[in-house]
């Protein structure tokens, strides 16, 4: 029985932005078999040849920057300038992983032992299923695609229902680059059939980027298998503004870190703790910056904040605000769903002060343009509040004292801790979460580890 096409609305116009046919069951079997064959072909290539292949695919995508960026904007609403930036960011991550591949994937040669040679080889797993998120559909995809192919794996990309066209850009780029047939394939499945695919024995590794609930569903789908699933989940990312910081720079960067991509980022600043000595100045400096965002057509160069991607989310964001104000928070600006000239599903850039630690905003991921702020009296109080969440993706400390930042960083329960920056990934560093923010690592030299298996080579050279 055929399934009806899946349609995606443009969050600004309401028109159909994409319509895709779900991959039928009979075609899915062929996809898996092509991937198995491609994994064998990729494994037979040298790392140097895989690097060349990946770089050619990168160039193919960069050549199509404008069309890819418009696809992203029309499907999920981010301003076109930011979508172009995502293409560039994707290319930067891919090139970094390519640059470190040879060294990262080389055999580990152990110290000499009389009469023996001992090595640890890193072998590809086979077929990797990549389940990226819609908020950064290229960046969350390339975190798996680049290291997987470089390590000799084939990749099947099943993108989010919000951005179903984005996986196809990778598949076409690798085909244009001369990759083995099936090296990178894109398909679209509904949730039940995605869960079935996770349980298929022909899939060797899964990387899921999305919600905590989605992560639990992926684990449940693999319950009959000894399968490692990489999970990149949500964040409730805190910032601490210490009394010795550069306040103007801190405010500027924190507001941007909360509002970029309409706050729809797992590493966006989601809550701020400001030392009481700077608290009123922080609020006074943040308010005009929050008010400067221009909501509008995301394809217009004058727009600095696009609409909210998911239809139900503006109401959820309003509920977060109402919960906070009900617990005593004061709304400084924003706080409501809105439209621009009768179009789009927007949410006003929002600043709240005096937010209770019991408010949902301070404990859960809001995923919107909300900036809740609360005062603290010491580093110790800030640390305790920053760790008081089941999520632990990133945290930031704003201070002129490197030792203070390092002391707090060592105690913070987060996969990444920043000093004087936020909402940024460096592909040379591992990307990971603790607690309910995920499991496993992407990017950096460590990002290859989940996509390879170690093989012990123990050679007796003489008796």
Encoding tokens for residue 243?
């009394």
Report which of 313, 310, 311, 293 is spatially closest to residue 302, judged by C-alpha positions: 293
How many angstroms separate the Cα of 307 from the Cα of each of 85, 144, 287?
Answer: 18, 28, 21
C-beta separation of 145 from 184 below 8 A:
yes
Q: Positive or negative CA dihedral for 166, 438, 359, 287? A: negative
Do the Cβ atoms of 291 and 335 come closer than 8 Å?
no
Crossing angle for the helix pair 139-150 and 80-105, nearest 10 degrees?
20
Q: State residue 362 phi and psi, 5-degree precision.
A: -90, 0
- Cα distance between residue 42 and residue 152, in whole Å: 5
Tell me, yes or no, if 195 is annotated catalytic.
Answer: no
CA dist., res. 257 & res. 302, Å (int): 20
Is residue 122 within 8 Å of residue 196, measured between CB atoms? Answer: no
Catalytic-labelled residue, pool 33, 123, 232, 252: 232
Catalytic residue set? 232
């Amino acid at each position: 029985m055929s399934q009806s096409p899946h349609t995606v609305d443009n969050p600004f116009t309401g028109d159909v932005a994409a319509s895709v046919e779900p991959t039928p069951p009979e075609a899915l079997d062929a996809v898996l078999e092509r991937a198995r064959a491609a994994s064998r072909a990729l494994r037979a290539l040298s790392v140097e040849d895989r690097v060349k292949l990946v770089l050619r695919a990168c160039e193919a995508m960069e050549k199509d920057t404008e069309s890819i960026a418009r696809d992203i904007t029309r499907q999920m609403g981010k301003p076109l300038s930011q979508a172009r930036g995502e293409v560039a960011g994707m290319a930067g991550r891919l090139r970094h992983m390519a640059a470190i591949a040879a060294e990262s994937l080389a055999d580990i040669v152990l110290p000499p032992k009389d009469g023996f040679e001992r090595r640890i080889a890193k072998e590809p797993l086979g077929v990797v299923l990549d389940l990226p998120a819609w908020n950064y559909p290229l960046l969350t995809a390339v975190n798996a695609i680049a290291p997987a192919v470089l390590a000799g794996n084939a990749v099947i990309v099943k993108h989010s229902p919000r951005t179903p066209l984005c996986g196809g850009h990778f598949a076409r780029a690798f085909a244009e680059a001369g990759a083995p047939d099936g090296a990178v394939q894109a398909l679209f499945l509904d949730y039940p059939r995605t869960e079935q695919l996770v349980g298929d024995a022909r899939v060797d590794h899964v990387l899921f980027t999305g919600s905590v609930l989605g992560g639990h569903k992926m684990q449940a789908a693999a319950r009959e298998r000894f399968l490692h699933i990489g999970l990149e989940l949500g964040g409730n990312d805190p910032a601490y503004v210490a009394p010795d910081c550069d306040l103007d720079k801190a405010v500027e960067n924190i507001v941007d870190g909360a509002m970029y991509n309409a706050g729809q980022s797992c590493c966006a600043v989601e809550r701020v703790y400001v030392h009481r000595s700077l608290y009123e100045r922080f609020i006074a400096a943040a308010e005009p910056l929050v008010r400067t965002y221009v909501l509008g057509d995301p394809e217009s160069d004058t727009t600095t904040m696009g609409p909210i991607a998911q239809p139900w989310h503006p109401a959820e964001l309003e509920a977060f605000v109402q919960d906070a104000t009900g617990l005593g928070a004061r709304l400084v600006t924003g706080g409501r769903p809105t439209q621009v000239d009768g179009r789009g599903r927007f949410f006003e850039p929002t600043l709240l002060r005096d937010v209770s630690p019991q408010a949902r905003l301070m404990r859960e991921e809001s995923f919107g343009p909300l900036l809740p702020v609360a005062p603290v009296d010491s580093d110790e109080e800030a640390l305790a509040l920053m760790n008081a969440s089941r999520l632990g993706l990133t945290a930031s400390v704003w201070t002129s004292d490197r030792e203070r930042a390092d002391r707090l960083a060592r105690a913070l329960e987060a996969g990444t801790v920043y000093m004087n920056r936020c909402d940024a990934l460096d592909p040379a560093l591992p990307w990971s979460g603790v607690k309910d923010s995920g499991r496993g690592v992407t990017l950096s030299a460590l990002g290859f580890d989940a996509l390879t298996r170690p093989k012990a080579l123990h050679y007796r050279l003489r008796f």
